[in-house]
Structure 1
Amino acid sequence: MGLELPYGSVDFSLRGLAGQAEGFGRLAVGGQNGDVYSVTTLADDGPGSLRYGCRKKEALWIVFQVSGTIELRSYLSVSSYTTIDGRGQKIKLTGKGLRLKECEHVIICNLLIEGGVGDDADAIQIKPNSKHIWIDRCSLSDFCDGLIDVSRQSTDITISRCRFANHNKTILIGADPSHVEDRCIRVTIHHCFFDGTRQRHPRVRFGKVHLYNNYTRNWAIYAVCASVDSQIYSDCNIYEAGHKKIAFKYYKEKAGDKEEECSGGIRSQGDLFVGETEAGLEGGGGDSCVFDPREYYNKWTVVAPPSDDLKHYLQHCTGFQNIPLPSI
């Protein structure tokens, strides 16, 4: 297609993912320096299970020797320096989701996470104080609360090549206007496909968020929302509205350390608004206060112009992929 795409070399070796994320999560190494742990059972717990591996405190690269559904009866807590690598099998997590709590250097790759149970069920919950996280090529849908929540001073996170569908509250970054410490949050979301999810692609409080080369279509409320003191840099994305035409929304809230309500800022750079889609940039905090990603991370980040080729790629090559597990 003549389209320059990221991560062309990460599948040549098992640990080729380590340290290769673009954006704020670029330092995530996962279990690069640990042993390989093989999941041999679809049971929720016990030797050979995914939970058993995630519980270990030493660095670990987790792979799967089985395919199928793992029904999680409670949140699955992931330890630091862990890679959950779903390449080579088809693993679906359901029931409860993953919890990244006070951990660092976690990579989650090539999983299906769908069918949440319980009012508070998030597919992936990142809080508190977690950092250096990379979520790549996952399909997420149909949970009770959020698909990905980032809050309580968790930062330096990349979400890439993921597919989001059949859901309402998709990605929340910053959970409450009283959490003023969340001004440290930094998240990159790129090459993702938001397919008819209703809202929060993402919704942001306080954090700095770089969105690039994503395709968001047929939302029901808005595509992207900037709330209290957030800074969103929307860079060469494709926005294609359905019934609701406006892509960007601003919600005012009062930060815990301020007297007046305020929203956030959105800078739209090179975005493509398809058909009758309206940007909706008026009425917010403007773009003068929005950060420049180039001041935060290095030059090899690939940002392509929005195009039909990019749209085709994002429709067909995001989320879970039927790819082999690379050799060690």
Structure 2
Amino acid sequence: MALHLSLLLLLLSLISPTIIHSSHVQDPELIVQEVQEKIYNATTRRNLGYLSCGTGNPIDDCWRCDSKWAKNRQRLADCAIGFGKGAIGGKNGKIYVVTNTKDDPVNPKPGSLRYGVIQDEPLWIIFERDMVIKLKEELMLNSFKTIDGRGASVHIAGGPCITIQYVTNIIVHGINVHDCKRGGNANVRDSPSHYGWRTISDGDGISIFGGSHIWVDHCSLSSCTDGLIDAIHGSTAITISNNYMTHHNKVMLLGHSDSETRDKNMQVTIAFNHFGEGLVQRMPRCRHGYFHVVNNDYTHWEMYAIGGSADPTINSQGNRFLAPNDPNNKEVTKREEWPQSAWKKWNWRSQGDLLLNGAFFTTSGAAASSSYARASSLSARPSSYVGSITVNAGTLSCKQGSHC
């Protein structure tokens, strides 16, 4: 009887108005601590079966328990954590429905994805049905936009993909982005009143160039020409969470070059992602800024997992690193083209990481440096929980009228 009562109290606390029913969620860092403590203080793993949505993933537990998510879509904007927690996307804007897959880079038609993303007003963009969109040129987003793929299977693939350049407050959620190609040497529209000449693009899945307040969540990314997600040229306030990344070489570049000093202000949170099969390197590769790599699952790499140059601060906490069987590639970390006399001063920390199959993390710098406070964006859970936290990484299968 006492056990049943404690479970009931736990369930009631997890679905309290503060976290589930409120239109304004509390400070995301508090949610990380409060929700996960309630979940993992349960007496046994079996007890979690009585909970409706006790994943321990603070983003998911913020919105996925709501069976009316399709009517409350914009509540997602209150659920971000980490450095990108201020990204509101198209919150409080109109719902824009993508109804066709056709793409015109200069004169997009109403109902197309490009027409929605270039508008000046905030928009929450959703999709009428399952669709594959093969863009003719880069998709140039305007500020205050959410691309929300929940409820449909949406693929942006086979052509140039998403570019977030000198804009702010962008959410990309629930989209499959793969097989992205180079575009350019063409005119592309980026607002209702402006289009311009674009040179050759890199072929990234998602390219963030001078952007801020960006959140990429629950996307599945693979097999692009250059990076899956790259952030350069002074981009900052970014969270990359709950994504599933596979079959790619240079996965994620954060920082343009060793000489690009604007990237010293870059702050990026990389949380709850699954770095899966067929990945080679750059998960991520960092320069200059502050990077919090927390509670991710690394099941594959061929060269290394986390790399960097130009004195980035890397705060690795509660990740699970499964090294490949190749005895020459057990090291998680790589310092790119810098001598030990320089990189031994860089603040790279591994705290609570689970290192498997001979994996090892080469730390450096001051273990208690104040830099880590700047590079910490949320509370890490123990690495033993990574499997359950990341089990639903990537796009979700969401049906209206039921929990997502």
TM-score (norm 2): 0.73
- Pick the aligned partner of 1:98 from 162, 165, 179: 162
Amino acid at match of 1:202: P
Which residue of 2 is the match for residue 109 of structure 1? 173
Structure 2 CA distance for aligned equivalents of residues 66 and 55 of structure 1: 21
Counterpart check, 1:143 vs 2:219? no
- Pick the aligned partner of 1:210 from 292, 299, 310: 292
Structure 1 CA distance for aligned equivalents of residues 120 and 129 of structure 2: 23
Counterpart check, 1:49 vs 2:49? no
Q: 1:91 offset after TM fit, Å?
A: 0.3
Counterpart check, 1:250 vs 2:314? no
Structure 1 CA distance for aligned equivalents of residues 258 and 295 of structure 2: 29
Which residue of 1 is the match for residue 301 of structure 2? 219
Q: 1:275 offset after TM fit, Å?
A: 2.2
Q: 1:280 offset after TM fit, Å?
A: 2.8
Amino acid at match of 1:218: H
Counterpart check, 1:63 vs 2:140? no
Q: 1:226 offset after TM fit, Å?
A: 2.6
- Pick the aligned partner of 2:372 from 292, 315, 319: 292
* 2:315–2:375 Cα contact (<8 Å) kept: no
Structure 2: 5+ residue runs without aligned partners?
Answer: 1-44, 49-54, 67-71, 183-200
- Pick the aligned partner of 1:88 from 134, 147, 151: 151
* C-alpha distance after superposition, 1:55-104 (max 9, x if no partner): 10100000100212100111101111100000000000011111001111
Which residue of 1 is the match for residue 239 of structure 2? 158
Which residue of 2 is the match for residue 23 of structure 1? 82
* C-alpha distance after superposition, 1:147-176 (max 9, x if no partner): 011110110000110001000000100011
Which residue of 1 is the match for residue 73 of structure 2? 14
Counterpart check, 1:198 vs 2:277? no
Q: Which has the larger radius of gyration?
A: 2
Structure 1: 5+ residue runs without aligned partners?
Answer: 255-259
Which residue of 1 is the match for residue 26 of structure 2? none
Q: CA RMSD in A?
A: 2.2
Structure 2 CA distance for aligned equivalents of residues 140 and 296 of structure 1: 26
Which residue of 2 is the match for residue 120 of structure 1? 202
Which residue of 1 is the match for residue 268 of structure 2? 187
Which residue of 1 is the match for residue 92 of structure 2? 33
* 2:174–2:217 Cα contact (<8 Å) kept: yes
* 2:314–2:375 Cα contact (<8 Å) kept: no
Q: 1:292 offset after TM fit, Å?
A: 2.5
Counterpart check, 1:311 vs 2:387? yes
Amino acid at match of 1:61: W
Q: Check 1:157–1:325 CA distance in 2 against 1; reply closer, same or farther (3 A cut).
A: farther
* 1:231–1:266 Cα contact (<8 Å) kept: yes
Structure 2 CA distance for aligned equivalents of residues 317 and 251 of structure 1: 32
* 1:266–1:290 Cα contact (<8 Å) kept: no
Amino acid at match of 2:160: K
Structure 2 CA distance for aligned equivalents of residues 17 and 290 of structure 1: 32
* 2:313–2:371 Cα contact (<8 Å) kept: yes
Which residue of 2 is the match for residue 75 of structure 1? 138
- Pick the aligned partner of 2:360 from 264, 274, 278: 278
Q: Check 1:9–1:84 CA distance in 2 against 1; reply closer, same or farther (3 A cut).
A: same
Amino acid at match of 1:251: E
Q: Check 1:240–1:53 CA distance in 2 against 1; reply closer, same or farther (3 A cut).
A: same
Structure 2 CA distance for aligned equivalents of residues 185 and 51 of structure 1: 28
Q: 1:303 offset after TM fit, Å?
A: 2.3
* 2:319–2:352 Cα contact (<8 Å) kept: yes
* C-alpha distance after superposition, 1:179-217 (max 9, x if no partner): 012100000000000013100010000010001110112
* 2:177–2:221 Cα contact (<8 Å) kept: yes
* 2:101–2:132 Cα contact (<8 Å) kept: yes
Amino acid at match of 1:268: S
* 1:228–1:261 Cα contact (<8 Å) kept: no
Q: Which one has the bigger helix percentage?
A: 2
* 1:136–1:160 Cα contact (<8 Å) kept: yes
TM-score (norm 1): 0.90
Q: 1:18 offset after TM fit, Å?
A: 1.1
Which residue of 2 is the match for residue 320 of structure 1? 395
Q: 1:324 offset after TM fit, Å?
A: 3.0
Structure 1 CA distance for aligned equivalents of residues 375 and 332 of structure 2: 26
Equivalent position SS for 2:62:
coil
Q: 1:252 offset after TM fit, Å?
A: 4.1
Sequence identity, in percent?
Answer: 34
Structure 1 CA distance for aligned equivalents of residues 370 and 204 of structure 2: 29
Structure 2 CA distance for aligned equivalents of residues 286 and 135 of structure 1: 31
